[in-house]
Every structure is written in structure tokens, then in C-alpha cells.
């Protein structure tokens, strides 16, 4: 990852921070290099991260990391207070959106939150240009599947989840959605 990849990653974590209370048990889907665990110190040490890439195994000691796809490879680890999907949902093909929502429902406690960040579609063009310049590397743009932020509400606004917060950040180029499990 480049310095710009890391910077963008930290900005997403900063957006998620207000929705994570001290002692929350977190499941970070698409944990990458475990940055959320490094930057938010008040989480439960019984928190988990899952990522399909082997580079996800660098989080601080005490956190549980799993290499694999969510929810298919997620071990039976009980339920979590919060599930984060920071710049992750756009990497799931539409055919797996229902499975993603069902997995979140299965692993989230009643009253728990799902915190999602997704880029606006124009970001793909900007990142493609930055990639050509060598400024970013870790974006997996080929996996964005033409994702629109409006789809986020459709994935998670089911009878089980309720949208409780949405705003744009980084000059409107990114979105954060927070859903509550009823």
C-alpha cells in the first residue's frame, strides 16, 4: 500500500470511530492490514477481523484475524456489538448481497450496528488515474462491480435493519451509513 492508500484507510476509520463505544466487540469485514485495531484502542480484545488476503494478519496482539471470505469462512465466534465494512461492500458482487446481509444479521447482536463506508461512483475514475500515477495500489478497482451508494440501503434496509445515520465525507466522494439491528 502507498501513503495515499494508508491515508484514505485512516480517514474511513476516523468516520467509523464515533459509532464504536468503549468495550465494543467488533467484527471488521475486509480488515486489510488490521488498521482499525491499531487506531481504535478501546475495542474489546475479543474482536475479529476477516479478509480474503493474507496481509490481514498484522493486527495488534489480542485480536482474532481470519483469512477468508465473509460470511462463508467466518468461524462461529458468537455475536458482535458492531460490524464494520469500510470500503468493502462495493467489492461484493450483486449476487452475494443477500448473503452479505444475512451474514451480518447472523453475527450481529440485537441492538448492534453495521457501519459501512462506500465511495461515490466518480471515485473509480479518480483512483484509476491515481493508480496510473502510482499513487495508490490497494484499491482492487476491478472488484467494484459498478456499485452505487444507493444500493447500500437496499442491501441492509430490511425488516431486521434500520438506517440510523448517513452522511457524505471527503468532499462528497465517500459515504458512511450506519444501520441498527432491531
Selection from 9, 25, 29 nearest residue 116 by Cα: 29
What tens digit of pLDDT does each residue of 58-106 get?
A: 666 678 889 999 999 999 999 999 999 999 999 898 999 999 999 999 9
> 163 is in which domain, residue-wise?
3-14+24-181
What tens digit of pLDDT does each residue of 102-128 get?
A: 999 999 999 999 999 999 988 778 878
Q: Looking at residue 147, which CATH number applies to its domain?
A: 3.40.50.150
161-169 vs 174-181, strand pairing mode: antiparallel
Residue 40 three-state SS: coil
Any domain includes 31: yes
Triad 15, 163, 59: Cα angle to 5°: 40
Selection from 169, 88, 160 nearest residue 179 by Cα: 160
Any domain includes 19: no
Domain count, the chain: 1
Amino acid at each position: 500500500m502507498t501513503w495515499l492508500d494508508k491515508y484514505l484507510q485512516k480517514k474511513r476509520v476516523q468516520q467509523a470511530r464515533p459509532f464504536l463505544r468503549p468495550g465494543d466487540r467488533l467484527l471488521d469485514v475486509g480488515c486489510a492490514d488490521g488498521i482499525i485495531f491499531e487506531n481504535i484502542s478501546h475495542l474489546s480484545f475479543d474482536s475479529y477481523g476477516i479478509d480474503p488476503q493474507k496481509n490481514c494478519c498484522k493486527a495488534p496482539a489480542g485480536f482474532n484475524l481470519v483469512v477468508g471470505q465473509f460470511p462463508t469462512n467466518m468461524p462461529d465466534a458468537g455475536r458482535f456489538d458492531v460490524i464494520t465494512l469500510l470500503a468493502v461492500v462495493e467489492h461484493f458482487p450483486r449476487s452475494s448481497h443477500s448473503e452479505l446481509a444475512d451474514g451480518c444479521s447472523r453475527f450481529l447482536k440485537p441492538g448492534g450496528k453495521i457501519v459501512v463506508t462506500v465511495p461515490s461512483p466518480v471515485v473509480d475514475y479518480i483512483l484509476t488515474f491515481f493508480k496510473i500515477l502510482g499513487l495508490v495500489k490497494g484499491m482492487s478497482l476491478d472488484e467494484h462491480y459498478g456499485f452505487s451508494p444507493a444500493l447500500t440501503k437496499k442491501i441492509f434496509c430490511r425488516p431486521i435493519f434500520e438506517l440510523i445515520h448517513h452522511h457524505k465525507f471527503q468532499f462528497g466522494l465517500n459515504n458512511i451509513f450506519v444501520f441498527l439491528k432491531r
